Amino acid sequence: MDEFDWIARYLKPIAPSPEAMGLSNDVGKLLSHSGSVRIATMDTLAAGTHFLKTDPLDLVGRKLVRVNVSDIISKGGLPEQVLLSIALPDGFSEQEFETLCHGIGGELQQRGISLIGGDTIRFSGPLTLTMMMTGRCELKGPTHRNGAKPGDVLIVTGVVGAGYLGLQVARTGNTGVYLDHYRCPEITEEQWAGVISDFATSSLDISDGLLADASHLADASRLAFSIDLDQVPWAAEPSDLEEMLALATGGDDYQALFTVSADRFEKFETLASERGLFFQQVGSVSEGSGVKIHRSGVAIPLPSVKGYTH
């Protein structure tokens, strides 16, 4: 291939911002705003690990953007710019490259995010995509993991388990709505960024699994997080406890999980309702350590594996 031709033909058109300088100036310019703090995240997706080699490449491209957006929004930020590294396996065709770029570019455009630079290589591994994304936060900066306080309520912004269900469907070769979510997740709505920034005392996005990510907040805050499994908005009604725990530990949910102070909860609830934002209270924070789960007040032993390590 002539890599330069591919960059000019497929990447340059999806990088129209002035800061990208046509992707032909070796570097891109980062935006800067007085009165705000800028944050950055980076995620790598590899074929065979984070997506299936048979997944449609435009959806892989969209997923790459969304998993990064999910990180930014869940910390109270609004996504702005990206740099992109594409490591292509031998034999990757121009048409495949076009489809991949179409997915990345479409998702970036819909969300008003600008591609400003990156790198494209050929190598002997599977298709591997790395995206670095910047976001803009209020002056106080991103919400931390360690800010939860005893008495806080634990909130999730969408259904839990869709990624897990989708992976099961994908492995059988069937299709359906869960497969779509696995391939290209529904993530936390962008409107949540401002609400999280305003109200969340601790936050992250659920990528490893509900229980694993709740553990991360609990450990960072040095408190106990108690989750009522019957309050969790499952992607599909689990048939038994075993399935429920699978949904709670499968990961790839890309919904925000955060804590809100009990005395601000009413105000939070009103604002979320006014903006038409779905959320569910799934637990609470108290003195102690680690994650505890229960149903109707009865403690349930934690599964040995709380999540999926990517």
Instruction: Write out the binding residues for Mg(2+).
Output: 26, 41, 43, 71, 119, 205, 208
Site residues for its own copies per CB under 8 A = 2-4, 21, 24-30, 32, 34, 37-44, 46, 48-50, 71-72, 74-75, 77, 83-85, 87, 116-119, 121-126, 128, 130, 132, 134-135, 141-142, 144-146, 204-205, 220, 309-310
For the bound state, the minimum distance from the C-beta of residue 171 to its own copies, rounded and expressed in Å, comes to: 17
For the bound state, the minimum distance from the C-beta of residue 231 to its own copies, rounded and expressed in Å, comes to: 24
Choose between 93 and 175: whose C-beta lies nearer to its own copies. Answer: 93
Q: What angle do CA 201, 202, 207 make, to 5 degrees?
A: 150
Q: What are phi and psi of 124, to 5 degrees?
A: -90, 10
For the bound state, the minimum distance from the C-beta of residue 51 to its own copies, rounded and expressed in Å, comes to: 11
Choose between 42 and 299: whose C-beta lies nearer to its own copies. Answer: 42
Choose between 109 and 146: whose C-beta lies nearer to its own copies. Answer: 146
CA separation for the pair 186, 255 (Å, rounded): 8
Choose between 11 and 229: whose C-beta lies nearer to its own copies. Answer: 11
For the bound state, the minimum distance from the C-beta of residue 266 to its own copies, rounded and expressed in Å, comes to: 28
CA separation for the pair 277, 146 (Å, rounded): 25
Q: What is the 3-state secondary structure (H, E, C) of 273-310?
A: HHCCCCCEEEEEEECCCEEEEEECCEEECCCCCCCCCC
Residues paired with 292 in a beta bridge: 226
Choose between 247 and 257: whose C-beta lies nearer to its own copies. Answer: 257
CA separation for the pair 196, 76 (Å, rounded): 5
For the bound state, the minimum distance from the C-beta of residue 303 to its own copies, rounded and expressed in Å, comes to: 17
Residues paired with 47 in a beta bridge: 51
Report how far apart, in Å, the C-alpha atoms of 10 and of each of 78, 101, 184 are: 26, 6, 21
Annotated binding site: 26, 41, 43, 50, 71, 118-119, 145, 205, 207-208, 252
For the bound state, the minimum distance from the C-beta of residue 45 to its own copies, rounded and expressed in Å, comes to: 8
Annotated binding site for substrate: 50, 252
Among candidate residues 76, 104, 88, the one with its CA nearest the CA of residue 46: 88
CB 86 within 8 A of CB 120: yes
Choose between 178 and 253: whose C-beta lies nearer to its own copies. Answer: 253
Tokens describing residue 194: 């401002």
